[in-house]
Amino acid sequence: MKLFNIKTMMIVALGLATILPTGCKKGYFDTVPDNLTSIDGIFTNRAQTENWLAGLYGSIPDTWDMPYNNILSITSDEMDASNWTNPAINSGAITADANPSGQNAFYEKIRLCTIFLENIDHNEEIKGLANGEEIIKNYKGEAQFLRAYYYWMLMKQVGPVAIAKLTSAKPEDDFQIPRSSWDESVAFVISEIGVAKANLPLNNYQFGTTDLDISKTGRINKVIATAVESQILLFHASPLFNGNTELSDFKNLDGKQLFNQTYDAGRWKIAANSSKEAIDLAQSVGKSLYKVTDADPFRAAFLSTRDLYWNGWRNEGIWLRPASSRAQWESSAAPRTTQGTAYNGLAVLQNLVDDFRMADGSDRTTNVSYRENTYTTTANAYYVAGTNTMYTNREPRFYANVTFNGSVHPTTPKAGVTRVEFYNTGNNGKSGAPRDWPKTGYTARKNIHPTFSMNPSVTVARPSMLIRLAELYLNYAEALNESTPGDPDILFYLNQVRQRGGLPALTTGLSQADIRKQIRLERRIELCFENGARYYDVRRWKIADQPGSNQGGQFFGMNTDVGTSLSDPLFHQRTLNFSRAIWQRKFYFLPYGQNEMDRNKQLVQFPGY
């Protein structure tokens, strides 16, 4: 997808407002203005104005949408879907001419946000309502936040961005816009969000009450805006963006440095304070980690993890996206033996499987009970007898997030099916379908409802969580460990997430480096497959080329070319399943589209493209 031309962005006809992504159902994130005739006509009419505002939400990515989530997860050390698609970054063939980013959609929305902000005050119909001035104030806050948010999404993709004027452009304006530096870009979006927050309600209440307005689910409020601030400031403090001398050659044409070259330790404290503010604000409106009560602590942790996505979003969800492509995700990840035949192709990499801990919280490499050459004779709620013992005695989140050979079926199965078999001739193995099998012998299980069925179609409606409280806890723990090692809040908030997942609490006495390792591992496991967390984490930490987090080279799984029984040792052999291009520096960011580079002569490309 090529970058939307900045000049075109500033003068393009209003018809672009109709080019919006659609979800699986119409909702606030999928609405488009209708009957667009003139700016005056739209912004004097309440319904048209509110349709325009609704359309501004249309480019917010859906966590479970395949084009978005697929690109991020299958280009990191989480998943593979190369039987179906393989993004060019994996082969090293990514170029500015074949750009996979959503940059054009973000720039479209930035322009439409500006138009909205310039014209909303003209709506006398809204002003005439009993609470009309408050409504307009809130609408301004939403639009200003969304404009800043789309710039933030661009920054995550391309680094320092070209920031257009915050007014509607005229044909005579200068559209040759250089990149702002990273620090300037961050200052801009943080400032814009700060202004927006002054106009936003604390939560999505019905006007004049403290009762939640369900029709406003996903609409921007102070809690959401503050949570996004914490994400931005965490990135800003991280090694990729904080004193990164590796990128000293990334400069504008006038020699302006685009990444600061001096490390600023104070950024971590600012990030910690921001994360704590976001946590406190979320908890003040009743947010908490979702937890299921069960007499069996292991089962409680499993259910707390598994059911979070359809039962727990009310408790834990900070920013919700009402329209979600959950059914597309489920059909792509679920086994073929799902009733109606699902597609069975989102393969989990062995790297991630290995990183899940044992049930007692230990690393598999240090646990004497871990075996890859023996098979269990007992069955339980998670696997059947005959399953390889490398999959037994693992932490609860492993069973909620990964489907493996011998797993109890995660969905409504076809008649007579109770287990998932990934060996070659198994019921979900390579020999049973041309492309619908996982190269690694594992598939993603997270956010697959146990009643899911393809035919008859059975899906449980639920929003997706763009930000949830557990992420804020981990943001805070990470920033605090870097700014104030030994602060008791570090282990308190880290342990909240660990213990919900069924792991024992970490105790004092660990070094800063040890805690850093645990926080990074916790993010790896807790946030797997969600919102590109892993894709961005390994980049901002600058560990994408390091063993254990390498984003290129060789990737392993089980040997899906062989195996004729559940306990066949030939299948249970670590096997090179595929290779990706060795990590290159240019993979830190996506390129601006070459068409934009050709038009905007002040725009420099990220080195390597």
Quick one: pLDDT at residue 465? 97
Quick one: pLDDT at residue 29? 52
Compute how many other C-beta atoms are within 10 angstroms of the C-beta atom of residue 609. 16
Query: Residue 602: CB partners within 8 Å, gap ≥ 6?
Result: 162, 176, 177, 178, 252, 253
| 8 A C-beta contact, residue 114 and residue 107 | no
Q: Prior bond to 456 cis, omega within 30? A: yes
Pairing of strands 347-348, 402-403: unpaired
pLDDT average per 10 residues of sequence, the chain (609 residues): 31 28 42 59 94 95 75 94 93 85 84 97 96 96 98 97 90 91 98 98 90 93 98 98 97 98 98 98 98 98 98 98 92 97 97 98 96 98 98 98 98 98 98 98 98 97 96 98 98 98 96 98 98 97 97 98 98 98 96 89 96
Residue 208, by phi and psi: left (phi above 0), alpha (psi -120 to 50) or beta? left
Reference 273, options 221, 203, 222, 226; nearest CA is 226
Quick one: pLDDT at residue 68? 56
Give the C-alpha separation, 578 to 362, whole Å: 29
DSSP 239: T
pTM: 0.93
| 8 A C-beta contact, residue 350 and residue 372 | no
Quick one: pLDDT at residue 40? 82
Give the C-alpha separation, 478 to 483, whole Å: 9
Give the C-alpha separation, 74 to 389, whole Å: 27
Q: Which two tokens stand for residue 167?
A: 């007014």
Give the start-end residues of each E strand in 246-369: 317-321, 347-348
Quick one: pLDDT at residue 3? 31
DSSP 315: H
CA distances from 503 to 12, 300, 316, 385, 544 (A): 54, 12, 19, 25, 27
Q: Which two tokens stand for residue 91?
A: 């082969």
In 3-state terms, what secondary structure has residue 372?
A: coil
Quick one: pLDDT at residue 174? 87
Q: To 10 degrees, what angle do helices 533-540 and 512-526 make?
A: 150
| 8 A C-beta contact, residue 101 and residue 590 | yes
